Amino acid sequence: MTQLQQARENKITNEMRRTAEYEVVDPEVIRQLIADGFAVLPKNIKHNIDTPRVIGKNLDVKVNVNIGTSKDYSSFEEEIVKAKVAFTYGADAIMILSTWGDLRKMRREIVELSPVPVGSVPIYDAAVRSYRENKKVIDFSEGDFIEMFKEHAEDGIDFMTIHVGVTNDVVKRLKKTERILKIVSRGGSIVSGWMLENKLENPFYSHFDEILSIASEYDITLSLGDGMRPGAFVDGTDDLQLEELFVLGELVKRSRAAGVQVMVEGPGHLPIDQIEMNVRLAKTITDDAPFFVLGPVVTDCAPGYDHIVSAIGGAIASMHGTDFLCYVTPAEHVSLPTAEDVKEGLIVSKIAAQAVNASRKRKRAYQREKKMAIARKEFNWDEQMKLSIDKGEKLKQYREKRPYSEEGCSMCGPFCAIRIVEKYSDGK
């Protein structure tokens, strides 16, 4: 039985208990959220997860890290290093988006290594295999859509993105769109390219019952991909994006009816003033399914800083109900990220999540802020390092670069506000 089916039968699983401990809530809260479909607990029955995570309404905002090879940079070892960096700096989930090398070997190895849920996009495998056989990227069969999904399920993947909302109707609209950047989703472009070439409905959609049956067998959490997400500031919130979202709303209902856990993916690139409306719309149309966003990227004019641009969007989106942030690295839209880029992207996303979690008075995040305030007041630099999201690395660097011999720091020296007020406020 899936976590959802067990939750509906009033059973609190071990995983629910462990995530409840992490969230500092009663396990019954987790069970009820999962039973209602407002939260998901991605865990393939074949994957032993040390630290399972539950994602959804009124819970801590979580952060996902993407790793994966490309044709020009396909070092398996480098991707393992990136995965380890992600685990060290607290990723709540990791997605393997490789498009070169031995995809299956890499997938299995990361699943084996990962203490957190692992996600993937199975359609990449079909496209990569086809390209490597000197065929077109979209030269694969209808059966491959299902075959790849099954293969990833067997390999222990916990959640999978399928671009199932890219239906014939949506693709028809694509032909008329006035968007500047038509599709920026790699999976969305492969699926719609395949549909246009073969003049067929999206097999993920036409065979959705088969997908549900495999997902139910392995307890795969479906992540309904947003193949039509806007990919530029000026393209935010248009008919194409919304038409796909309505399809996703229908698929959420079908997934839940089949006992399959489901979350929904969202934009993309959006102006700041459209974020709240997008989150509320998605939550309303999908009946509060957990919402997973990439970014949102709030300006396209800062290449090299997209991690910061996305963290701004991610913080705003989370304040309005987004549950799961996909990190973005500084290399986004420019090149395949290095391990250092993964680290920077993750830390910045974790900052956005911490800021939102603490302001919502989520227990762990709020306590961390409180401890940090005390550590700052006491000039307890070791404690400040321990509480820092980057494990104190930057703090240490700055302390060493510009040291100060007394209490306080070299910013104000003897005029340290904290020291002055402590000294005089208690009458010394």
**Number of residues counted as binding ligand SF4 (CB under 6 A):** 7
Asked if 375 interacts with ligand SF4 (CB under 6 A), we say: no
| Between 35 and 416, CB nearer to ligand SF4 | 416
| Between 76 and 381, CB nearer to ligand SF4 | 381
Which structure tokens are listed for 76?
């398996």
Q: Indicate left, alpha or beta for 68 from its phi (over 0: left) and psi (-120 to 50: alpha).
A: left
End-to-end CA distance of the chain: 66
Among 412, 422, 424, 425, binds ligand SF4 (CB under 6 A): 412
| Between 232 and 372, CB nearer to ligand SF4 | 372
Which structure tokens are listed for 280?
């509320």
CB of 390 to ligand SF4, least distance (A): 19
Instruction: Please identify, among the stretches 21-29, 146-154, 265-273, 408-416, the one whose residues bind ligand SF4 according to the rule CB under 6 A.
Output: 408-416
Instruction: Please identify, among the stretches 35-43, 70-78, 328-336, 410-418, the one whose residues bind ligand SF4 according to the rule CB under 6 A.
Output: 410-418
What is the dihedral angle through the alpha carbons of 209, 260, 156, 191, rounded to the nearest 10 degrees? 50
Residues 247 and 268: their CA atoms lie apart, in Å, by 18
Instruction: Please identify, among the stretches 166-174, 335-343, 388-396, 407-415, the one whose residues bind ligand SF4 according to the rule CB under 6 A.
Output: 407-415
CB of 423 to ligand SF4, least distance (A): 12
Phi and psi at residue 86, to the nearest 5°: -60, -45
Residues 375 and 420: their CA atoms lie apart, in Å, by 17
Q: Indicate left, alpha or beta for 10 from its phi (over 0: left) and psi (-120 to 50: alpha).
A: left
Asked if 45 interacts with ligand SF4 (CB under 6 A), we say: no
Burial state string for 337-362 with b = 16 or more CB within 10 A and e = fewer than 16: bbbebbbbbbbbbbbbbbbbbbeeeb
| Between 36 and 422, CB nearer to ligand SF4 | 422
Helix axis angle, 339-359 relative to 76-88, nearest 10°?
20
Among 200, 234, 417, 421, binds ligand SF4 (CB under 6 A): 417
Going from the C-alpha of 126 to that of each of 8, 35, 100, 104, 222, the distances in angstroms are 35, 34, 12, 12, 19
Asked if 421 interacts with ligand SF4 (CB under 6 A), we say: no
Asked if 321 interacts with ligand SF4 (CB under 6 A), we say: no
| Between 9 and 406, CB nearer to ligand SF4 | 406
Asked if 385 interacts with ligand SF4 (CB under 6 A), we say: no
CB of 420 to ligand SF4, least distance (A): 8
Asked if 409 interacts with ligand SF4 (CB under 6 A), we say: yes
Asked if 408 interacts with ligand SF4 (CB under 6 A), we say: yes
| Sign (positive or negative) of CA dihedral 73, 77, 80, 86 | negative
CB of 407 to ligand SF4, least distance (A): 8
Instruction: Please identify, among the stretches 5-13, 57-65, 316-324, 403-411, the one whose residues bind ligand SF4 according to the rule CB under 6 A.
Output: 403-411
| Between 287 and 407, CB nearer to ligand SF4 | 407
Which structure tokens are listed for 20?
């409840």
Asked if 411 interacts with ligand SF4 (CB under 6 A), we say: yes
CB of 169 to ligand SF4, least distance (A): 58
> How many of the other CB atoms lie within 10 Å of CB of 14?
9
Q: Indicate left, alpha or beta for 333 from its phi (over 0: left) and psi (-120 to 50: alpha).
A: left
CB of 397 to ligand SF4, least distance (A): 16
Chain positions contacting ligand SF4, by CB under 6 A: 408-409, 411-412, 416-418
